[in-house]
Structures are given as C-alpha cells and as structure tokens.
Amino acid sequence: MLLIRHGHTEATEKGRLYTDPLAELTEVGVEQSKKLAAWMKENRPDLIISSTAKRVTSTATIIGDAINVDPISVNGLEEWHVGEWEGRSYLDIKKNEPELYKTWSSDPIVNRPPGGESISDVCVRVNKRIEELVAEYDGKKIALVTHAGVIRAILVQALGMSVHNFWRLSIPVGSVSRVDFSKSFATVYFVSFTPGM
C-alpha cells in the first residue's frame, strides 16, 4: 500500500485545522500531484483508492489520469474531525480559549476538540477501514490517497507503536509512504518520500 497525502491547500499553508471536504488544491498542490503521478508511472499500482474530500479526489484523479487507472472513493478515510475547531489554528485556540486549549493539550491523544474526534478515535476508525480494504484487495498493490492524520494512524498501527507517537510522524503534502501488509504483520519500507524534491 502506497500512502499518499494530497497536495498543498491554502488551509495547510496557514496552519489551520480542517476536515473541510470542499477545500481545493492550490497551483502548488496540482504541481505536487503531477510529480506524484510521474513517480507513480514507475511504481504503478493495481488500483487507486481515495477518501472523499475534494483535495484528495483531485490528487487521485491527476495520478489516475497519468497511469490510466480510475480512482475509487471510499468512506472512513476522512481527516481528523476537529469539530468546533474547524478552520482555526492551534495558536488562535491557545490565545482565545486558553483553558480549553490547556485541557485538550494535557493529553491530545485521548481528549477531543469540542464536537470532534480524539486521535485515539481517528486511529480506531482508520485502522478498522484499512483492515477491511486489505482483506478486500488481498494481493493487490494499492495507492491510497488520503490525509496526514490517516497516514499517521496507519503507520502507528503498522509499526506497533503507542498512539502517543502519532504527532512524531511528519507527513508533508505531496508525499508518499509504503507499507506492505501480510497475514501476521505489516512492514514499513519508507515514510514521507516527496517525488521531485
């Protein structure tokens, strides 16, 4: 499974927390997607699966057009749901709601933003969906185009790490990581390779 983070967006650049399914790629994001597509020609998957957010399906479509594979959009691979913190930065929350931020940041793995998911919730949701996809497409090489939080959740599980290591994994926009799944364990081959950089 090749784990691909979507290309650059304005919200990414501004450091905002967002699940927003309608956020679009910037010109930089389109160029990153084209570089991923060029790399994918030499590392061709059997199929492309993406989450349903527009920035992800746009990235998947650019890759799919280049290698003549139609992407499949599935549910369950959405980015971390941040609830009432949608569109805000950590600095904004810390400045304007210091007590709320302090409570959340005391254990950001198990504490939830108001109306959102905890990181533990994300990991459970994502890895249940990955188990289903691995079983459904057993033996296939999958390009999974998705979000940083989803990729972190997969890698934490694949490496058998504590979920408290979630934030220690850097997953840049336009990057690709590789995990192979077997019946008994997963093997991580590389993380956060950025084609064309």
Q: What's the pLDDT tens digit per position in 177-186?
A: 999 998 889 9
Residue 132: CB atoms within 10 A of its CB come to 12
**Number of domains, the chain:** 1
Q: What is the DSSP letter of 80?
A: P
| CA neighbor of 17 nearest in space, from 109, 115, 87 | 87
User: What confidence tens digit (pLDDT) does each residue in 33-86 have?
Assistant: 999 999 999 999 999 999 999 999 999 999 999 999 999 999 999 999 999 999
Residue 158, domain CATH: 3.40.50.1240
Decide if pLDDT at 122 tops 80.
yes
Rounded to an integer, what distance in angstroms lies between the CA atom of residue 66 and that of residue 37?
6
Rounded to an integer, what distance in angstroms lies between the CA atom of residue 59 and that of residue 143?
11
Give the domain extent around 155: 2-193
pLDDT for the residue numbered 125: 97
Rounded to an integer, what distance in angstroms lies between the CA atom of residue 136 and that of residue 49?
12
pTM of the predicted structure, to 2 decimals:
0.95
